[in-house]
Structure 1
Amino acid sequence: MTKWLGQLKKLKGVTGILVLLVATFVYAMFQGGFISWFLFYLIVPLIIYSLFLFFYPLSKVEVERTIETRKVYSGGKFSATINVKRKNRFPLLYVSFEEKVSDSLQQSTSWKRMTFWGMKREYEWTYEMEHIPRGEHVLEGIIIRASDLFGWVQKEVFISNTKTILVFPNLTEMVYIPIESRYDQGSAASRIQVMKDTSMATGIRSYQPGDRVSWIHWKSFARTQTLKTKEFEDRQSQDLFVLIDRTASPLFEEVVDLTASIMQSIVRHHASSAFLSIGGSRLYIPAVQSEEQLQRVLYHLTKVQADLTRPVEQVILTESALAQATSLLYITSNLTYEWIESVQKVTQNLRVCTCFVIKEKETKLSSEENALNQFAASRGIHVHVITKDRFAQAFMEVSRS
């Protein structure tokens, strides 16, 4: 039934202009005179053009899209150029182009264009989307609409040209200071960086993906033509464990931005951390230390939503990955008494627990929040209230405490 209605709608314009042609001809025949025949001959070319437009193969138009913005970050600007080509010069009057996008981009603007195409074979159009939200978005294709002079005949065609774009979280360059690290041989805490001591090579092993070029044993490669990697004394006995809170919050985007920035800073400084994200989907990576692993985390944080439906303190009680954590970094916008009690129950070997609690700039803590922070401190949990403009100094805030 819907298909038949669509066909009738397409024929509506043609039927109308044919009725108009017959009506003006009958009027000229019975009325006579210069004016009536002038009106008839004036309408004839317009109707002929409309009929040609009705049969014009608009679907044979070729569309190419060129992405101008290589990497897009949350709240940034996205730009693309659309190139439309056809093989003939049939005059097209009013033509509109629209980029059909997924629902996640419906709030964006500036992806429509109307023009007088004329007889040109090629048309190029560049559009921008501003304040594009974080996430995975799909550009589905181009909708082309053409109309005659008075809108009697209107044609529309959708040309599929699917392209997926990723809008990454905003990444902040950070001054990285390890929260806690120590040698395997001792138990005293020290502020040394969590990394391999490259001044103390202990042997060589087979090359593994992710090993840095500076670790390759070139003398062995020259002899055997097989890549070998130097082994160093490992100064790391306690990797950081990063946990993100995916509870719905007005500051969830800031939580994602800070988490992504911290993970990038850790990897870029050759350190290592575990990463856990729990919600509608779960991602746990025991050790994030290579660029490939970092990109996996960033891809997850690009698509992640605030979809944790149960209280986070209930979820972590059943999370076995946290049981062996010794240095925990929790990123949230709402710390609770229940979370503090739950994390102490589930973590058996926890030595250091740090919480970044994100707040709006110039927001003053209430008496209840101050009491909560003091309660956390009494349990050995270090709480740092941080605003978006202080993300770059996040690790320095911890080192000063």
Structure 2
Amino acid sequence: MTRTHILRPLGLLVLAGLCFLAAQGTGIRLFLHLFYVLLALLVLSYAWAKLNLRGLAVGREVFTHRTQVGEAARERITLQNLWPLPKLWIEVLDHSDLPGHAPGFVAYLPGREQRRWITATPCTMRGKFTLGPATLVSGDPFGIFRVTRSIDSTSEVLVYPRIVDLPGFQLPSAELPGGQNLKSRTYHVTPNVSGVREYQPGDSFNRIHWRSVARTGQLMVKEFELDPTAELYVVLDMQERGQERGMPGRGERA
């Protein structure tokens, strides 16, 4: 509890003590009645506040475990009252470290009912973030006591950099050296068969094409067409002028 919430019950307790001393010193029964009323108010308010956080079930379901900058991380929080008595007010404080995530909400829960909230937080920065933990906060109707309960369940969200189009960038053309009947050993095996050739010492037996052997009477092996290949290098520019200015010190190009 904060300092303000500590001073409230302490002030009422001091006031009840003064009423008791006044009743003993003056003999006026009104002060004694005030003492009993204040004492009963403190006990009932504390019991109300403590019981208000009992019989609650909290669930968190994350719909988006992987996303990218510019999209939204969505989750659903379920708060269920397992008791027949209503909960006048329950505050849910979320301690997620995802930038821009909703801090929480306040709810009224009737007996044996539940409330659901779906949040969609726009992702503005890449990285790994944690949704949760959360804290349940409640109190008595008079605002004297404020009690909390921790919910330790967490989930992780991985935010990738934004994918942008590069209109002036084209992939280099690849070489396709297949389709040649080579009388030498072929070292590359791909799903693409370009033809058959005579068996050469050192060829693998699992490459023998038995239909061609039956037709020609000679050992024939399959020749494979190599997949198109090209070399492409990606260089990360870490200079300051290569950084975006959308979020100072945090934007980047990838």
Does the alignment reach a TM-score above 0.5? yes
- Smaller-chain TM-score range? 0.5 to 0.7
Q: 1:255 to 1:199 in 2, by over 3 A?
A: farther
2:212 corresponds to: none
Q: Which one-letter code corresponds to 1:52 in the other structure?
A: A
1:250 corresponds to: 243
1:200 corresponds to: 194
Mapped to 1, the partners of 2:64 and 2:111 lie a distance apart of 31
| Contact map agreement 1:77 1:132 (CA 8 A) in 2 | no
**By how many angstroms is 1:144 displaced?**
0.8
- Deviation track 1:272-314 (CA, whole Å, cap 9, x = no partner) reads xxxxxxxxxxxxxxxxxxxxxxxxxxxxxxxxxxxxxxxxxxx
Q: 1:100 to 1:71 in 2, by over 3 A?
A: same
2:72 is the counterpart of 1:62: no
| Contact map agreement 1:135 1:166 (CA 8 A) in 2 | yes
2:171 corresponds to: 178
2:208 corresponds to: none
Q: Which one-letter code corresponds to 1:167 in the other structure?
A: V
Using the size of structure 1 for normalisation, the TM-score is: 0.41
**By how many angstroms is 1:159 displaced?**
0.8
| Contact map agreement 2:139 2:147 (CA 8 A) in 1 | yes
| Contact map agreement 1:145 1:156 (CA 8 A) in 2 | yes
2:137 is the counterpart of 1:145: yes
Q: Which one-letter code corresponds to 1:77 in the other structure?
A: A
Q: 1:197 to 1:89 in 2, by over 3 A?
A: closer
Mapped to 2, the partners of 1:71 and 1:169 lie a distance apart of 11
SS in 1 for 2:158: strand
Q: Residues 191-340 of structure 1: matches in 2 within 5 Å? A: 198=192, 200=194, 232-248=224-240, 249-251=242-244, 253=251, 255-256=253-254
- Aligned counterpart for 1:52 among listed residues 38, 44, 47: 47
**By how many angstroms is 1:240 displaced?**
1.5
1:30 corresponds to: 28
**By how many angstroms is 1:234 displaced?**
1.5
CA RMSD of aligned residues (A): 4.5
User: Which has the larger share of helix?
Assistant: 1
SS in 1 for 2:175: coil
1:99 corresponds to: 94
Mapped to 2, the partners of 1:201 and 1:59 lie a distance apart of 75
Q: 1:71 to 1:55 in 2, by over 3 A?
A: closer
Q: Which one-letter code corresponds to 2:60 in the other structure?
A: R
Mapped to 2, the partners of 1:202 and 1:158 lie a distance apart of 70
Mapped to 2, the partners of 1:231 and 1:47 lie a distance apart of 90
Structure showing greater relative contact order (alpha-carbon pairs closer than 8 Å, 6 or more residues apart) = 2
| Contact map agreement 1:78 1:132 (CA 8 A) in 2 | no
- Deviation track 1:21-76 (CA, whole Å, cap 9, x = no partner) reads 4456677873849xx969975x6775343120354383763321112446532032
- Aligned counterpart for 2:103 among listed residues 91, 96, 111: 111
2:207 corresponds to: none
- Aligned counterpart for 1:129 among listed residues 121, 139, 143: 121
| Contact map agreement 1:14 1:54 (CA 8 A) in 2 | no
Q: 1:253 to 1:180 in 2, by over 3 A?
A: farther
Q: 1:163 to 1:59 in 2, by over 3 A?
A: farther
Q: How many residues align?
A: 211
| Contact map agreement 1:111 1:127 (CA 8 A) in 2 | no
Q: 1:171 to 1:164 in 2, by over 3 A?
A: same
Mapped to 1, the partners of 2:79 and 2:85 lie a distance apart of 14
Q: 1:9 to 1:171 in 2, by over 3 A?
A: same
1:160 corresponds to: 152
| Contact map agreement 2:13 2:39 (CA 8 A) in 1 | no
| Contact map agreement 1:66 1:82 (CA 8 A) in 2 | yes
What runs of 5+ residues in structure 1 fail to find an aligned partner? 1-5, 186-195, 206-229, 257-401
2:67 is the counterpart of 1:75: no
**By how many angstroms is 1:155 displaced?**
0.8
Q: Larger Rg: 1 or 2?
A: 2
What runs of 5+ residues in structure 2 fail to find an aligned partner? 179-189, 198-203, 205-221, 245-249
| Contact map agreement 2:64 2:157 (CA 8 A) in 1 | no
| Contact map agreement 1:62 1:84 (CA 8 A) in 2 | yes
SS in 1 for 2:136: strand
Q: Which one-letter code corresponds to 1:30 in the other structure?
A: I
Q: Percent identity?
A: 18
